């Protein structure tokens, strides 16, 4: 029962003794903090601004119809209430469709950006590991605690911004 634990502990300790230069890196943070990501976000905002405005307008329309229904509850004829419900369902359906379409388009553009940036990021990381002679680079999200001086994320962002 304890034998596997002892073996694992022994391997970790011997590996720890071998790894002299260790660093942590948040790949996602590095990518999202880059100038390229800032430019991409600006471009995306401009690209989808008209659809975003249309979505906000539809949301306001849905809210207005919903308020009319609430105000008129009990005082309007059943026919008028039914018409308003149909109006609401139609506007809300359009709002949902447009929102989903916009999200899908944005996700596709983000995926394309990540696909384009990944080789650049990988090259920067490989070059940094080689030039600084790191023995081990660990994903920052997989750590519980790490000294700030071991985090190379900002260095990767700096190098990525130069490419």
pLDDT in tens, 141-152: 998 999 999 999
Q: Tokens at residue 52, please?
A: 């975003």
Residue with tokens 């000294």: 147
What per-residue confidence (pLDDT) applies to 79?
84
Mean pLDDT, range 114-139, rounded to an integer: 94
Query: What CA–CA distance (Å, rounded) separates 74 from 70?
Result: 9
95 band by pLDDT with thresholds 50, 70 and 90:
very high
Supply the CATH number for residue 133's domain. Answer: 3.30.910.20
Q: Does residue 31 register a pLDDT over 80?
A: yes
Neighbour count for residue 25 (Cβ, 10 Å): 22
Query: What CA–CA distance (Å, rounded) separates 69 from 12?
Result: 66
82 band by pLDDT with thresholds 50, 70 and 90:
confident
What per-residue confidence (pLDDT) applies to 9?
44
Does 12 reside within a domain? no
Dmax over CA atoms of the chain, in Å, equals 81
Does 13 reside within a domain? no
SS (H, E, C) the chain: CHHHHHHHHHHHHHHHHHCCCEEEECHHHHHHCCHHHHHHHHHHHHHCHHHHHHHHHHHHHHHHHHHHHHHHCCCCCHHHHHHHHHHHHHHHHHHHHHHHHHHHHHHHHHHHHHHHHHHHHHHHHHHHHHHHCCCEEEEHHHCCCCCHHHECHHHHHHHHHHC
What per-residue confidence (pLDDT) applies to 13?
53
Does 129 reside within a domain? yes
Does 15 reside within a domain? no
Does 132 reside within a domain? yes
What per-residue confidence (pLDDT) applies to 131?
95
Does 68 reside within a domain? yes
Does 25 reside within a domain? yes
18 band by pLDDT with thresholds 50, 70 and 90:
low
Most trustworthy range by pLDDT among 37-46, 69-78, 82-91:
37-46
Percent of the chain at pLDDT > 70 equals 87
Does 4 reside within a domain? no
> Could you list the residue range(s) of the whole structural domain that residue 31 is in?
21-162
User: How many structural domains comprise the chain?
Assistant: 1
Q: Does residue 14 register a pLDDT over 70?
A: no
């Amino acid at each position: 029962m304890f034998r596997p634990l002892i073996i694992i502990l022994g391997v970790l300790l011997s590996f720890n003794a071998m790894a002299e230069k260790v660093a942590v890196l948040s790949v996602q943070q590095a990518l999202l903090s880059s100038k390229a990501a800032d430019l991409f976000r600006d471009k995306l905002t401009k690209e989808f601004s008209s659809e975003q405005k249309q979505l906000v307008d539809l949301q306001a329309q849905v809210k207005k119809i919903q308020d009319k229904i609430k105000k008129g509850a009990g005082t309007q004829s059943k026919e008028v209430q039914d018409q308003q419900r149909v109006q609401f369902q139609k506007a809300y359906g359009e709002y949902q469709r447009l929102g989903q379409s916009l999200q899908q388009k944005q996700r596709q553009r983000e995926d394309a950006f990540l696909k384009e940036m990944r080789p650049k990021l990988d090259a920067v990381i490989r070059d940094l590991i080689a030039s600084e002679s790191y023995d081990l680079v660990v994903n920052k999200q997989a750590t519980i605690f790490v000294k700030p001086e071991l985090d190379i994320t900002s260095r990767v962002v700096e190098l990525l911004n130069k490419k």
